[in-house]
Amino acid sequence: MVVLDPGHNGGNAGAPEEVQRPVPAGGFTKPCNTTGTSTDTGYPEHEFTFDVAERAAALLRARGVTVLLTRNDDLGIGPCVDVRATIANDARADLTVSIHADGAAAGARGFHVIQPGLAPDGGNASILEESSQAARTLRTAFAASTGEPPATYPGGLVEAGLTQRDDLAGLNLARVPAVFIECANMRNLGDAANVTDAEWRRQAAQGISDGVLTYLSSR
């Protein structure tokens, strides 16, 4: 069982009161959700993440993996970040991958995988080691499939293409192995050209699928 979590949603921008509502985040609260970022030409992160998630889900299902998405279209609101974590926990997923794209400074380029640090409430302690293994496996597979350079610009950098954070609800509330992947920086012209290209999105989905399968086989 693998849960793919395409970040944000197409209806979030039209429901500010709902998406700004505070929800538990593992010892503190965060907004229910956000609208996400976009390229300078207006291609939105929520559309990118849903497309890549659907492609990756199809690849994994073809290999016999049961896949659950945290949202089934790109028209709705949310779900909230705590609910997304609950979906994976309740499913007893072998791995959760939250799919995103960054909105960093235009001069920054590359992808990075985020592994959980210890949440302020300590609730995710049992999944830290497995999640770290999954993050490294996914980093290798994504780079090989896409040719995207591992990023060196993010905060919390462990090494190129790998960061660790304790402020993301999806990782703090996880009770099953969980990682985030920021597939590219949508504000960088080179990365923007990639994310808007269907063939590159296919490669991104392939990289995620390959990383997930390698991780599962290692267990």
Sheet containing strand 157-159, edge to edge, reads 67-69, 2-6, 95-102, 178-185, 112-116, 162-165, 157-159
In the numeric block, which tokens belong to residue 69?
Answer: 């998405």
Radius of gyration (Cα) for the chain, nearest Å? 16
Amino acid, single-letter form, for residue 30: K
In the numeric block, which tokens belong to residue 162?
Answer: 């790998």
Rounded Cα distance between 47 and 45, Å, is 5
In the numeric block, which tokens belong to residue 188?
Answer: 């960088």
Q: Among this protein's residues, is 182 annotated catalytic?
A: yes
Residues labelled catalytic: 182
